[in-house]
Every structure is written in C-alpha cells, then in structure tokens.
Structure 1
Amino acid sequence: MPFYSEERIALFIDGSNLYAAARALGFDIDYKRLLSEFASQGRLVRAFYYTALIEDQEYSPIRPLVDWLDYNGYTMVTKPTKEFTDSAGRRKYKGNMDIELAIDMMELAGHIDHAVLFSGDGDFRRLVESIQRQGVRVSVVSTVKSQPPMIADELRRQADFFIELKDMEKKVGRAVSQKSDREFEDYPGEFDPYEDAEEIA
C-alpha cells in the first residue's frame, strides 16, 4: 500500500458505498481486520464510518453493525433517512452522507498526512482536489473489477492512489454470510446490514 510508517492517516468510509462494492465482488468486509490493516501502515488518527439509519423501524437492519463499530475503534457519523414514495408507489429511503463526510475531511486535513476515502462516488472529486491542495495525500478505495465498475473515472484520476478493493480481500475480507438470528458476540459477521434498507445511498 502507498503509505509511509510515520504518516498520520484517517479513514473516511462511505458505509453503503463500501458495502455495495464488496458485495459486488462477492465478499463482506471484516471491519476489525480493516482497522488493523490500516493501523499497521502508519499512525491511524481516526476511522470515520458514515451511514444513514431508518429510525422509525422497530428493528434497524444495520443497528448491530453500527453499535459494534462504535465500540471497536470507529467514529460513527449517522443521520435518519428520509422516506419517500417513488413513481411506482413503492416506499423508498434516502440518506446521503456526502456533506458530513466532506466537512469532516476538510476539518481534519490540517492534522493528517494521508486521507483514505472508501467510496467510488464521483461527487467527491472536488473534495479530493481541495484536500490535496492542503498538502494531504488521498487514496481512494473502490473497485473496477465489478460489473459495472463501482468507481467514477474522474475520482480515480484525481486521487493520488487508487486501491483496488478486490486486491484487499485476503487482508480485510470474509466470505459473504447468510443472515443469522444468533446474538452478535465478538463480531457481527453473519447478517446482511443493508438487507432491508431498500435504497440508502
């Protein structure tokens, strides 16, 4: 990976985007291993995880994951989804976290040397450019090996480094698991965190 041992590193994880990319590649993310992997590359200052939550449901499908991450080294940034009805009359949910991620990255830029963005969203190209002008190197983690590719070409071109998620599978991945009713013990691996959230983007 393109890191120096003395670098101050921060991770900015677009939760639904990373989840979709990993699923498209046929594996799940092991967040404990992911944190350890980047902590071993330099001085990990902060690991932000961004996701919207469906607040009015009795059980939120991603709540176990959010709670686990919150207790295990991640800084959680959440907000309620907005519900709407599409043209076919179906209930949908929308929860865009782009603004929250952009603000946090800009505020932290003066305290880090390397920002790692887990997203393929082309809307972040301008943010990456702004952070780079402040002297921060930016790596983007996504994939071009899915069909279709999950990263926008303009974001990949803007980044200092592109890290292919598929190449990280052996270090941070786990097999795609079936949903289970077991209690979440050490790690909530056997469930689909975004299964019931029809459209969180």
Structure 2
Amino acid sequence: MAFYPDERIAMFIDGSNLYSSGKTLDFDIDYKKLLDLFKNKGRLIQAKYYTALLDHEDYSPIRPLIDWLDYNGFHVITKPAKSYTDRDGRNRVKGNMDIEMTIDMLNIAPHVDHILLFTGDGDFKAVVEAVQSKGVRVSVISTLKSRPAMLADELRRQANDFIELADMGKIIGRPKRDYSTEDEQEYEDG
C-alpha cells in the first residue's frame, strides 16, 4: 500500500461496520492511534465517523466514544436510529448511514487524492467507482480474516487497494485488560 507525503487524505468510517469487524477479530480500536497512523501517512484533510444513535434511550453506550471522537480530531455524523417491527413481530433497529457517507465522499473528491473507506459494505462500490473517475484513489479497510468475511467481494475488487484490518490490530488495537487478574487481586485485598 503506497502513501505519499504530500497526498491529501480523507477518512470515512462506517462506525457500526468497523466496530463489528474489530469485535469479530477480537480487538478494540484505539481511535487516537488510528488517527495518528494516517496523519503520518500524508496530509489528513478530514476524518469522519458515521453512526446512528437510539434517540429514546436515556443513556447510549456509544455516547462516550462519540464525545471523545468529536473532541479529538474526528468529525462525527450521527442520525437517529429507527425502530420498527419486522414481519415476524420482532422489534428491530435500523440506522444506515450509507447516503450520508456517499454524499460526503462525492463532495470531498475534488479536494483529496486518497480516500480511506472503513467498511466492507458492497453498497459502496458505486460511490468508490464515482470518486475514482474523478482521479481519487480509494483504499478499503475491512477484513477477510473473520468468519464470515466482513468485506464484500465487489467492493474489494473496485477499490484501488485493500488494507486488512486484522493486520492492523497490533498498530491500532487497544491492549486487552486482564479482568481475571484484577478480580483475583480485589478478592485477595478485600
């Protein structure tokens, strides 16, 4: 994967997709390390993180992450998730951010050289092709090493480059806490 010191880079993160990929690979993303990694690869113009939030909940477990990202160099784009009942009567939540990401990618294309797209969703194939037609390189960051793979084949084939998320774990992953040792220590101290 080639990066050039003077190239203008934009990051587009499909929050729920990246979270699922990280969990499947058994590591948590350290977003500061992620941001620093790509700041050092070129001129990072923009880092955007997209996610849907449940409006009707008093507390959202994702809110602390959203607040941290917003204060630490990411532009966070949210919208309310929609609750609905499926045909089997089960309550479901839908929070697709594809349109917002697509519009933003098309708008920034004339101002960047390289887009880093953190998703495996095949629906992005068309927008990747559209920004490539404007001379922008697109690297997709996702994983094929999970079961099932989180990356759609059509998106991988359309991208200029594919970066395997599993291979980035040691660079952008947060160290796992050993809860068993802490629990044992509390028990012994208690």
Please confirm whether the aligned pair reaches a TM-score higher than 0.5, indicating the same fold: yes
Given that 1:15 and 1:49 are in contact with CA atoms closer than 8 Å, whether structure 2 keeps it comes out as yes
Query: Which contiguous aligned blocks of 4+ residues in structure 1 show a shift greater than 3 angstroms?
Result: 175-179
Tell me, what secondary structure is at the counterpart of 1:67? helix
Give the AA of the match of 2:22: A
> Residue 81 and residue 68 in structure 1: after superposition, are their counterparts in 2 closer, same or farther (change >3 A)?
same
In structure 1, what is the Cα distance between the partners aligned to 2:134 and 2:95?
A: 29
2:3 aligned residue: 3
In structure 1, what is the Cα distance between the partners aligned to 2:27 and 2:126?
A: 30
> Residue 95 and residue 177 in structure 1: after superposition, are their counterparts in 2 closer, same or farther (change >3 A)?
farther
1:108 aligns with 2:108: yes
Q: Mark the runs of 5 or more structure 2 residues left unpaired by the alignment.
A: 180-190
1:37 aligns with 2:30: no
Given that 1:26 and 1:176 are in contact with CA atoms closer than 8 Å, whether structure 2 keeps it comes out as no
Identity of aligned residues (%): 61
TM-score between the two structures when normalised by the length of structure 2? 0.91
In structure 2, what is the Cα distance between the partners aligned to 1:104 and 1:5?
A: 24
**Offset, 1:2:** 2.1
2:23 aligned residue: 23
The one-character-per-residue Cα deviations of 1:48-76 (angstroms, maximum 9, x if unpaired) are: 00000001101111111101100000001
1:184 aligned residue: none
Query: Which structure features the higher share of helix residues?
Result: 2
Aligned residue-pair number: 179
Q: Within 5 A, what are the aligned runs for 1:1-201? A: 1-175=1-175
The one-character-per-residue Cα deviations of 1:120-146 (angstroms, maximum 9, x if unpaired) are: 000000100000000000000000000
Tell me, what secondary structure is at the counterpart of 2:127? helix
In structure 2, what is the Cα distance between the partners aligned to 1:67 and 1:87?
A: 36
In structure 1, what is the Cα distance between the partners aligned to 2:159 and 2:141?
A: 10
In structure 2, what is the Cα distance between the partners aligned to 1:91 and 1:58?
A: 19
**Offset, 1:176:** 5.2
In structure 2, what is the Cα distance between the partners aligned to 1:126 and 1:132?
A: 10
**Offset, 1:85:** 1.6
Higher relative contact order (CA 8 A, sep 6+): 1
1:182 aligned residue: none
In structure 2, what is the Cα distance between the partners aligned to 1:176 and 1:159?
A: 32
Tell me, what secondary structure is at the counterpart of 2:28? strand
In structure 1, what is the Cα distance between the partners aligned to 2:137 and 2:131?
A: 8
